Amino acid sequence: MPRPRSTPEVSLPISSSRSLHAMFQLLIAIICRVVTIETWRKISLFVALPACAIVGYVSLKEEFEHIHHVEHDPPTFTAYPYLHVRKRKFPYGDGDHTPFWNPIMNPEPED
């Protein structure tokens, strides 16, 4: 004999207190996430950005002092045998300098 068709059951929570507990846990998790996001946002704005600005200011100040010193007292060229060995010209610029050549920091060889 065929079984009678039954209507699908809707799954309901076992007890309303358990469902209420789960809802409170979800609410607490959402609040903690918002608090955490706000806390890290405040740390980023009021701690990290000023720290980066201070470190940038100090490092740029020291770098400008170094550049000023090098402009007034440029380094001298020391002729080592492995320097300025050119079998062919570089395919860019004037052919004698690399892309990283700096006229302030890299002295020219005296011919």
Q: What is the pLDDT of residues 2-59, one digit of tens each?
A: 555 555 544 444 555 668 788 888 888 877 777 788 888 888 999 999 999 999 999 9
Q: What is the pLDDT of residue 55?
A: 97
Residue 61 has pLDDT above 90, yes or no: yes
Residues 82, 49: contact at Cβ < 8 Å? Answer: no
Output the furthest CA–CA distance in the chain (Å, rounded).
Answer: 111
Q: Is the model's pTM score more than 0.85?
A: no
Residue 92 has pLDDT above 60, yes or no: yes
> Letter for the amino acid at 35?
V
